Every structure is written in C-alpha cells, then in structure tokens.
Amino acid sequence: MSTRTRRPGEFCWINMLTPEPERARDFFAELLGWTYVEMTGVAGHAVQVGGRDIGGVFDVVSPGRPTAVPMIGVMVKVDSVDATVQKVAAAGGKATDGFDIMDAGRMAVCHDPNGAQFDLWQPKRMQGTDVDAELPGAPSWFETMTTDVDRATEFYE
C-alpha cells in the first residue's frame, strides 16, 4: 500500500464524535469499508483503511468524556499548535489554548470567523494518517460551507 506522510498545513486526521459509536462503525464499515481497532485508555476506536489509521470514532456520552456535540471533525497538521493558535486569533478566528493528548501530540480546537470548526495537530508520537488519499475509503476531500466565501478565503489564506 502506498503511504504519504502529511506535511504541515494538510489535513492529517478525522474524528467522529457520536452518541451511537457502534451504529456509526457499522454504517461506515458497510459504506466505505472502514475497519476499527479499539483504543486502550479511551472510549473509542481507531478508524482504518487498508490496516492504516485515518482517524477515530468516539462515544460522546461515555462516562468521563467532555460534553460535545455529534460531529465529524478534521485535524490540520502544524509545526507548532501554540504559534498557530496565535495566527488563528490574528486572522479573526477563535481557538482554545493548546493542550497535550498524552504523549501522542498537542492540539487545539479552532473556529474560523464564520464558525466552522477545525482542530490543529502538532505530532509527537502520533503523526496522523499516512494513508494514500486515493485509496477507497480514505479521506480525500475537505471543504467548508459558508455564507461568506470572501471572509473564509481571507482567513484560510
């Protein structure tokens, strides 16, 4: 299988937050051929394409989980979460302070000026996906729906 390490500025991971993780896993296994591996220490499963991780599915109603709305979120690889959080704010967006995910990496939750959410990922032990985007079932297209295209374009540039 062809692999490719993501560069800073590229989408490197997806997270699915759902109150029905088993149903979601079954649905996407049937639809996209995804397979799953249970993650130790968290209420979630790694999502795989061709035996390689592309993201995670997490139960938003399991004990110990922070309150979250069901969603599929994307992570953008960066060299420095803390420096990029400052860039997000300077460009008119909002971001949480960076925080560590054990020894896997550092992340922050961000919103562009129009409210679209994306997360930042600074790898430590976990680099993010290396799956070739051309493989069936692999994430390959990301877009934001907005009522202000000019504002979104300026922010992401």
pLDDT tens-digit map of 41-90: 777 999 999 999 999 999 988 766 666 789 999 999 999 999 999 999 99
Given a contact cutoff of 8 angstroms between Cβ atoms, the answer to whether 86 and 96 are in contact is: no
DSSP class per residue in 83-113 = HHHHHHHHTT-EEPPPEEETTTEEEEEEE-T
Average pLDDT over residues 125-154: 92
Domains of the chain in start order, with CATH, are: 11-156 (3.10.180.10)
Q: For the residues of 4-72, what is the DSSP string, one character each?
A: -PPPTTSEEEEEEEES-HHHHHHHHHHHH--EEEEPTTSSEEEEEETTEEEEEEEETTSTTPPP---EE
The pLDDT tens digits for 5-48 are: 899 999 999 999 999 999 999 999 999 999 999 988 777 999 99
pLDDT computed for residue 110 by the predictor: 97
What is the per-residue pLDDT for 21? 94
Q: What is the pTM for the complete model shown?
A: 0.90
